[in-house]
Amino acid sequence: DVFVGYLFGRTKATEVAHVIQKGDIVVDATCGNGNDTLAMLKMVTDDSDGYGGHVYALDIQKDAIESTSSLLDQTLGSKEKERVKLFNICHSKMEEIVPENSRVRMVAFNLGYLPGGNKSIITVSDTTLSALKAAERVLMPGGLISLVVYIGHPGGREELDVVEAFASGLPVSDWVCCKFQMLNRPLAPVPVFMFKREK
Ligand code: SAM
């Protein structure tokens, strides 16, 4: 049931709510304009009593960190905002900022470039692969790696190949790896991947 909600598209709260629980630690590996960061924060926070976990939100672009910070300022109170930790670093370095021995329930990637931003700053195969390996190491059993991949820009198809090869190599005894995509948009299928760690 974790995967069913993804049939038509992007990372949305309802679709990963089966996995993320209040109080969890989650990582937004490409926070961009902060939309996914905000959605993930809502999933780890209990509105009724303020109990909540943390979102570690990363982006290689300072503009993206500022954009995410501004969205959070507009939407959240100061106590809630404290639950989001923003880092202007490459996602391949996520282990440097996620507290050691923390149990990370989800690492979300929305690859490509910042909408409305500098289109020359994009995720690239090498660091995406390093980040996936880091995500594999920090993720707790029962946790989820999600990716939305775009192939329309230079390097997009190579990055897609890297993501698929990474998932194909994960042991079937420990991982369930799925891909969904729009079959009637061959030039822009927007594949969505979910890799669930069973053990
Ligand atoms: N999830 C975002 C949102 O809700 O607005 C959109 C993300 S956007 C499609 C991709 C982001 O990845 C861009 O903001 C870009 O700066 C960032 N990025 C590119 N390379 C990166 C890297 N190596 N590490 C972390 N972020 C990176």
Query: Cα of 110 to ligand 1 centre, how many Å?
Result: 6
Which long-range contacts does 72-79 make (Cβ < 8 Å, 24+ apart)?
72/34, 72/37, 72/38, 75/38, 76/38, 76/41, 79/50
Per-residue model confidence (pLDDT) at position 48: 81
- Full-model pTM: 0.92
| 199 three-state secondary structure | coil
- Report which protein residue has its CA nearest ligand 1's atom 24: 90
Closest of 9, 2, 93 to residue 56, by C-alpha: 93
Is the complex ipTM higher than 0.95? yes
d(CA 146, CA 80): 24
In ligand 1, the atom with minimum distance to the C-alpha of 127 is 23
Q: Indicate the top mutation candidate among 111, 114, 126 to test ligand 1's pocket, ranked by most ligand atoms within 8 A of CB.
A: 114
pLDDT of 138-188, one tens digit each? 999 999 999 999 998 999 999 999 999 999 999 999 999 999 988 998 888
First to last CA, the chain: 18
The tally of CA atoms less than 13 A away on the side-chain side of residue 192 is: 19
Pick from 176, 189, 107, 92: which is nearest to 140 by CA? 107
Per-residue confidence band for 6, with pLDDT thresholds at 50, 70 and 90: very low
For residue 47, how far is its CA from the centre of ligand 1 (angstroms)? 28
Q: Identify the burial level of 195 via C-beta atoms within 10 angstroms of its C-beta, where 0-12 means exposed, 13-18 middle and 19 or more buried.
A: buried
Dump pLDDT digits (tens) for 8-63.
344 444 456 678 999 999 999 999 999 999 999 999 998 788 789 999 999 999 99
CA-108 nearest atom, ligand 1: 1
